[in-house]
Amino acid sequence: MILRPISLAEADTLVALARRAFIDAFGHLYAPEDLQSFLDSERTPEKFARLIEDAGALVTVAEEDGVLLGYCTVMFGESFAGRPDPQPLRPCILGQLYCAGEATGRGVGAALLDHAIGAARARGCDAMQLSVYSENFGAQRFYARRGFAHVADIDFWVGNKRDDEFLYELAL
């Protein structure tokens, strides 16, 4: 498995992975129209192209034998509005960390997270924030094992459905 930045020419391939991974993990929670609305607004080639081209962001993929196994996005200099004081001075957001269903449990997510944390430290960030679904207990354990702590309760919208989310943060 290799980790690498994704190219703009691969945005469509990334969108396919991002949509499939989200549907596999959470699709059962939403009405079809809410799920489609979310995918059409948040998992688009245009949105990923902006991230890929943004110097303040990092989009990393895990690949094996030419197949994308997972990806993560990091936005440097950004933080969640729901974070209580004191705010970190140089935060970043781990916006997405997803693996293809067949890659789950193979260390792909851990490798991507370690890479993202290393990139955040290299850019001088003092905290990494992320949101995790309140009933995604496996993800909560995954992040807690790596030192993330629950710092606030926030909302996450999929179409017209509001989910309870937890804001997690890692001091860097």
User: Per residue in 77-87, pLDDT tens?
Assistant: 999 988 888 88
- Are the C-beta atoms of 1 and 64 separated by less than 8 Å? yes
Quote the CA–CA distance of 37 and 101 in Å, as a whole number.
22
Domain range for 67 is 2-171
CB-facing half-sphere around the CA of 113: CA atoms within 13 A: 20
Instruction: Summarize pLDDT for 40-75 with one digit per residue, the tens.
Output: 999 999 999 999 999 999 999 999 999 999 999 999
CATH code, 26: 3.40.630.30
Helix 11-26 and helix 32-42, axial crossing angle in degrees, nearest 10: 150
Total domains, the chain: 1
Give the largest Cα separation in the chain, rounded.
45
| Angle separating helix axes 45-53 and 11-26, nearest 10 degrees | 120
**pLDDT at residue 103 in the model:** 82
Q: Are strands 67-76 and 91-99 parallel, antiparallel or unpaired?
A: antiparallel
Give the pTM.
0.92
